[in-house]
Chains A and B, each alone.
Chain A
Amino acid sequence: MSASNADRSADLPRAAFGPARKSPRRFRLAAGLAGSALVLLALAFLGTGFAYGPYETGVSGGASDAPDGAVSGPAADLTKARSDLLARLQKLAPRGLYIVIDQTHNRLYLREKERALLDAVCSCGSGIVLSHGTKEWVFDTPPGIFRVNQKIEDPVWRKPDWAFIEEGKPVPRDASERFEYDMMGEYALGFGNSYFIHGTLYERLLGRSVTHGCIRLGRADLRELYRQAHVGTPIYIF
């Protein structure tokens, strides 16, 4: 150590030496390194992920070099399998009228070859869970494929046990006490295991999921559906 440095060290307080003097430089160095690392990380982040390009009809990601989109090799096998599958599915498509029910949005469509002949607001299952003792009922409209299995004019509702339980009433022993008239409207179209498309006293609730699993329709739409649909008409519920 030189004499001049030693003198300086004697004159200055300790705090003026060491870490207090050097920390800004070290800080600058550390900050510079950290900044560089951050810039590199940001670059890595920007350059990693997915770069999106337009979809070219018939050609996907270089699977085909042909200008008409023709494919060869394994892709050709896949294309053929897919086309065969779609053709087979097309053969299963309903040939005449069919009913589609969108239970999420409470819409009922009567379609013929994809054309909507009727577009109606309906009410589907509420999804409510009713519990009573050890018993439990879930009021869902079942999704899937069904067929109209009966058409009834002036239907009468035979109230099941849950209808009494949810109202806090005792379940009657006499079957005649279960019948309710005018609750289901003018018509009912049965499907599945005791489900119906029917009318309602609560037309103001159409468009909301409030039923016990059946489909409720307004009077005019129910009349039109009843007129056009027949026993055997497919029903698709999603």
Chain B
Amino acid sequence: MWEHPSTSSSDGLPAPEPAAGGSKARRRFRRASIVLVFGAVLVAVAAFLHRSSGEGEEPRADAPPPADLRRDAAASLLSGKFFYVVLDPEARSLRLMLKGAFLEEYPVEEIRVGSPRVLFRPSKGSDDWSFRVWSDGRLDPPRVQKRIEFTPPDSALALDSLQPALPIPPTAEEAYRVPPVYRIRYQEGLTLVVESSADSTGQGTFSRKEIVRSRAEERLRALRASLSNEGPRVLLRMKAENAQRFYRSLPGESFFLVTPPRPAPAEPRSSGNR
């Protein structure tokens, strides 16, 4: 029987390893270890699969029921208190709207729909995301306004009448650094992933480090989202300039919906030769 090297023999020295019996024991030990590791991995896989298939069929506990959502969304949008973004897949554009009024347009180069998967196995996704109205969109990372706090001078100063008394805040471009990939997360679980297209990121808009970090971050977030069934994920690829404009302008708590497909134009009747 092979003894562990730290076990002392009767003469006080560590027992040397027997030649034939030792290698057999080592093989057994190695096999057992490998079986253990694979077993652990299999258990983890089974846990993930169970989790994904179990949760995918159930609506998220915190998601509002669809019927209420429709009614609430309609009331909110018709009131004119909330901005909304309409994705027009045919026109390839995002349109910022308020109470039916068109405010601004952001061209989209590519729309891609994400299917969640766990260990290469597709998990249950939301089929009807494009038919729904999504509310309370929030930017991730958030756009934080840094306000300048100004305390007036105590005594009257002779101010140049052509000089404004208050400091001049930075422009939007200076104040908000937009990452190459950012997200808009809606209350009911939809995530719009906005990515600056590769051709527009290579013009010095972003550093290589920024691009790598931003994409790695998105990869990790997508991983977590697929494991926890956060909801559907839609990728919008835009020119960096448009993606940045959209990030800087998007009002808080906005809604999102997709325009229905336009009916195909009726085919002209054949009039025949006259």
A209 to B166 CA separation, bound complex (whole angstroms): 11
Residues of chain B with a CB closer than 8 A to A111's CB: 102
Among residues of B, the one whose C-beta sits closest to the C-beta of A115 is: B102
A57-B89, A210-B169 given; A201·B162 CB < 8 A = yes
Report if A98 contacts B (CB, 8 A).
Answer: yes
The interface residues of chain B lying within 8 Å CB-to-CB of A167 are: 152, 156-157, 159, 165
The one of B159, B169, B226, B251 that contacts A238, using a Cβ cutoff of 8 Å: B251
Q: If the complex has contacts A49-B219, A50-B117, A168-B152, are A82 and B100 also in contact, measured as CB distance less than 8 A?
A: no
Stretch at the interface among B6-14, B181-189, B197-205, B265-273: B6-14
Number of interface residues of B (CB under 8 A): 105
CB-CB < 8 A to A29: which residues of B? 29-30, 33
Chain A minimum-CB-distance residue to B83 = A238
Question: Per a CB cutoff under 8 Å, which of B96, B115, B168 touches A50?
Answer: B115
Complex: chain A residue closest to B22, CB-CB: A22
B119 at the interface (CB under 8 A from A): yes
Q: Which of B55-63, B122-130, B206-214 contacts A (4 or more CB under 8 A)?
A: B122-130
Question: Contact: A81 with B117, CB < 8 Å?
Answer: no
Smallest distance from the beta carbon of B37 to chain A beta carbons, Å? Answer: 6
Given the known inter-chain contacts A51-B115, A61-B125, please indicate yes or no for A168 contacting B100, CB distance below 8 A: no
Q: What is the 8 Å Cβ interface bit string for chain A, positions 97-117, against chain B (1 contact, 0 not)?
A: 010101011100001001000
Contact yes or no, A168 B155, CB < 8 A: yes
How far in angstroms is the closest Cβ of chain A from B153? 4
Which chain A residues border B194 with CB–CB below 8 Å? Answer: none
* Contact between chains at A82 and B257 (CB < 8 Å): yes
* Contact, CB under 8 Å: B169 / A127: yes
Q: Is the CB of B164 within 8 A of A236?
A: no
Q: Which single member of B147, B162, B251, B259 contacts A127 (CB below 8 Å)?
A: B147
Decide if B80 touches A145 in the complex (CB within 8 Å): yes
Contact A52 B5 (CB under 8 A): no
A1 at the interface (CB under 8 A from B): yes
B115 and A53 contact, CB distance less than 8 A: yes
Q: Are B131 and A207 in contact (CB under 8 A)?
A: no
B78 touches A88 (CB 8 A): yes
Q: Using A1-B18, A57-B89 as known contacts, list a sample of 4 further A-B pairs with CB atoms less than 8 Å apart, ordered by residue number in A.
A: A49-B223, A144-B98, A168-B157, A207-B171
